[in-house]
Amino acid sequence: MKLFLFSIICFSILCSSNGKSARPIPPVRAVNLGGWLVTEGWIKPSLFDGIPNKDFLDGTSVQLKSVTVGKYLSAENGGGTIIVANRTTASDWETFTLWRINETTFNFRVFNKKFVGLDIVRKSIAIANTLGVAETFEIQRNPRDLNRVRIRAPNGFFLQVKTEELVSADYEGDGGWGNDNPSVFLLNITGRMQGEYQVTNGYGPLVAPKVMKEHWNTFIVEKDFIFIKKVGLNAVRIPVGWWIAHDPSPPKPFVGGSLQALDNAFSWAEKYGIKIIVDLHCAPGSQNGWEHSGSRDSSQEWGQTDDNIQQTVQVIDFLAARYAKSPSLFAVALINEPLAPGVSVQNLTKYYKAGYDAVRKHSPTAYVVLANRLGPSEPRELFRLANGMTRSVIDVHFYSLFSDIYKGLTVQQNIEYIYNNRTAHLRELTTSSGPLILVGEWVAELLLKNATKQDIQSSKYTQ
């Protein structure tokens, strides 16, 4: 039941050929099995409970204010020159993103993606392009006031703010946690990520395999497929990460075992006559920088090289080869929520062509789902591409969330928005000669904070 509380994200494929009919019958009505084979912290927060020092996971953004000068540390020019402590307000250059080495040791990534490092000879703090021993820092927290930290450099000394323009790694002593100690900083955590990278690297290579295996074996079980069948759904959409193709030994920190869980899903689906949409949610390098794409630190690097695209095509090839023979394989979704402008339509098109061919190599019938880009993009930008393919589908996501336009809407206004505006959006996409449309994600949740169960149900029925 828990799964439905958290992830009743339903979707359907509408037939393009009967766009004129008032009520097109969707061939699939499905639930997303979110938070299972790709971790999303909000779906199952307790998965992170056992991580030591869990405030400091990969991708945590921190700002540090010196107690003695009362100003923020800043990577001058976003990185490339020096670290100073002369900013009265904190923004991008004053924000450092953590890479976790283990529970006490971290790299600090600066705005332009370089790293804070130690100039061992001068005991000064520098900006480094590459990572080594000189870029590993220990964060010590005041056990009585967790917002006070000190940072120990790899030479054994603490960072200290000598003047607003001189930060060095040469503070020896302890000196307490008071406002007179130049090695003490006020910590402000301004961003957190709770995805697969964070959970696996947070537990580390010894514990993560056990924790993830337990999660995969218990979060979705055979009984859920029985329930799905019973309530009249006929499909599931299963988000997976690129590392599944490298099971049982994926690159660190990811751990093996999700492939076995997906195999189980296929055997249950076959047993109960349920279809599966396999959805590549995490592409190598991350296609959107969000935690649910397996990103380490919000960087979005997918699609920037041919190598990276080729690597992703191989993942699709692997999945298609493995499941093509299953009567439950309904569709392969090539990539979830590629984000513009970081992902260009040209490079995405190149990938979609190769990904389509990879699926077709193994299956003449599986639908191939091409996700529209989020961010600045055109709803029909993939039409020409999709029209040149057979059994291709355009995927769109319709949340009444994540945008100011839903702020302040009453339940009734939300319902009208779905009736009028979403209908218009779908009509724009649904043409008699165009591709099929998949509303791959939507959710009954409203932005309205005081919505009652009845409200949620009404808007769900409207969808």
Ligand X SMILES: *[C@@H]1O[C@H](CO)[C@@H](O)[C@H](O)[C@H]1NC(C)=O
User: Among all residues, which ones are annotated catalytic?
Assistant: 337, 441
Q: Candidates 267, 365, 421, 457: give the one binding ligand X (CB under 6 A).
A: 421
Q: State which residue, 29 or 425, has the beta carbon closest to ligand X.
A: 425
Q: Give whichever of 190 and 260 is closer to ligand X, judged by the CB atom.
A: 190
* Candidates 243-251, 298-306, 325-333, 376-384; binding stretch for ligand X (CB under 6 A): 298-306
The only residue of 102, 163, 217, 412 in contact with ligand X, by rule CB under 6 A = 102
Residue among 105, 264, 311, 463 that touches ligand X (CB under 6 A)? 105
Closer Cβ to ligand X, 86 or 298, answer by number: 86
CB atoms within 10 A of CB 279: 27
Distance of alpha carbon 404 from alpha carbon 297, whole angstroms? 25
CB 4 within 8 A of CB 225: no
When asked if residue 76 is in the footprint of ligand X (CB under 6 A), the reply is yes
Amino acid sitting at position 97: T
User: By CB under 6 A, is residue 21 in contact with ligand X?
Assistant: no
Beta carbons of 68 and 76 less than 8 angstroms apart: no
DSSP symbols for 174-194: ---SSTT-TT-EEEEEEE---
Instruction: Assess 303 for contact with ligand X (CB under 6 A).
Output: yes
Backbone angles phi, psi at 112, to 5 degrees: -85, 20
Yes or no: say if 56 and 98 are a contact pair by the CB < 8 Å rule: yes
Q: Candidates 14-22, 175-183, 303-311, 359-367 — which segment interacts with ligand X by CB under 6 A?
A: 303-311
Could you say whether residue 298 binds ligand X (CB under 6 A)? no
d(CA 43, CA 435): 32
420 binds ligand X (CB under 6 A): yes
Calpha distance 451→190 (Å, rounded): 28
- 408 sits in the region (left: phi over 0; alpha: psi -120 to 50; else beta) called left
User: In terms of Cα–Cα distance, which of 67, 3, 51, 2 is closest to 30?
Assistant: 3
CB of 65 to ligand X, least distance (A): 6
What span, in angstroms and rounded, lies between the C-alpha atoms of 115 and 96?
A: 9
Radius of gyration (C-alpha) of the chain in whole angstroms? 24
- Binding piece for ligand X, criterion CB under 6 A, among 266-274, 299-307, 325-333, 380-388: 299-307
Interface with ligand X includes 186 (CB under 6 A)? yes
| Site map (CB under 6 A) of ligand X, residues 118-137, x = contact | ------------------x-
Interface segment toward ligand X; rule CB under 6 A; list 96-104, 210-218, 245-253, 327-335: 96-104
Phi, psi angles (nearest 5°) of residue 25: -90, 120
Least distance between ligand X and beta carbon 113 (Å): 15
Token readout for 429 is: 């996409």
Where does 309-461 show beta strands of DSSP type E? 329-333, 367-371, 392-398, 436-442
84 lies in the binding site for ligand X (CB under 6 A): yes
User: Of 33-41, 80-88, 112-120, 324-332, which segment contacts ligand X by CB under 6 A?
Assistant: 80-88
Nearer to ligand X, 32 or 74 (CB): 74
Q: Closest CB to ligand X among 167 and 436?
A: 167
Binding status of residue 53 toward ligand X by CB under 6 A: no
Mask 336-365, x = binds ligand X (CB under 6 A)? --------x--x------------------
Asked if 77 touches ligand X (CB under 6 A), the answer is: no
From residue 303, alpha-carbon distances to 109, 112, 145, 289, 425 in Å are 22, 19, 43, 12, 28
Task: Between 304 and 431, name the residue whose CB sits nearer to ligand X.
Answer: 304
In 256-389, which residue ranges form alpha helices assigned H by DSSP? 258-272, 306-323, 345-362, 383-387
Binding ligand X by CB under 6 A: which of 53, 142, 190, 326?
Answer: 190
Q: Which residue, 258 or 372, is less far from ligand X as judged by CB? A: 372
Q: Which residues bind ligand X (CB under 6 A)?
A: 63, 65, 76, 84, 86-87, 101-105, 136, 165, 186, 188, 190, 303-306, 344, 347, 405, 420-421, 450, 452
